[in-house]
Structure 1
């Protein structure tokens, strides 16, 4: 199941930038929504990224998993918090979420290595 989540993340960043040149209002709007939605508030940015990761797993979005594992780590989430988030997503999404939870674990393992 080896997938290079860091490369996937970087490829998507590049492609989103390319789309931003072609449809700047749409991508700019999405980026503003993302920034506002994950900003510190009653919930911390870390908590919001963990929620986003749980949703990414249950809706089976590879790119979303790469982004939200990456961003959860940047927001200060520990490996243990990310793994517990995977567990909640599996409970909510069943067998398919378990498979994508494994993808999230693989992404975590890859990004942790890159952070060291």
Structure 2
């Protein structure tokens, strides 16, 4: 079964928007953390999104896969870079990461228009 990653990202975005309204103080704090963590530094924002994607795969988080794949694409990630990220995530996360890695590649192909 294939997942529609664009729709999944839109649905999750709406749920997050609803949560932000319900808990604005925590949402602002988390957004601040995300902004600091992904800001350009010694690592580029693209590299940071690839790291986040790898963690999302190893952590078995569908939402993380969808969001960080889209963010990596916005920062110029290629399919080859996504594949290497998936490879490392599988190495670190074993069999479950193999399944989620396949989903991440599917997400890249859908979200990038490949």
> How large is the RMSD of aligned CA atoms in angstroms?
1.0
Structure 1 residues without counterparts, runs of 5 or longer: none
Query: What is the rounded CA distance, in whole Å, between the counterparts of 1:35 and 1:76 in structure 2?
Result: 18
Counterpart position of 2:102:
102
Query: What is the rounded CA distance, in whole Å, between the counterparts of 2:2 and 2:37 in structure 1?
Result: 31
Report the Cα offset of residue 76 of structure 1: 1.2
Query: What is the rounded CA distance, in whole Å, between the counterparts of 1:8 and 1:31 in structure 2?
Result: 20
Report the Cα offset of residue 94 of structure 1: 0.8
Counterpart position of 1:111:
111
Query: What is the rounded CA distance, in whole Å, between the counterparts of 1:21 and 1:88 in structure 2?
Result: 36
**Residue-by-residue CA offset, 1:4-60 (whole Å, 9 max, x unaligned):** 111111111111111111100111111111111011001000000000000000000
Structure 2 residues without counterparts, runs of 5 or longer: none
**Residue-by-residue CA offset, 1:45-87 (whole Å, 9 max, x unaligned):** 0000000000000000000000000000011111110111001
Asked if 1:5 corresponds to 2:5, the answer is yes
Number of residue pairs aligned between Structure 1 and Structure 2: 114
Structure 1 segment 4-83 matched on structure 2, within 5 A: 4-83=4-83
Structure 1 runs (4+) greater than 2 angstroms displaced: none
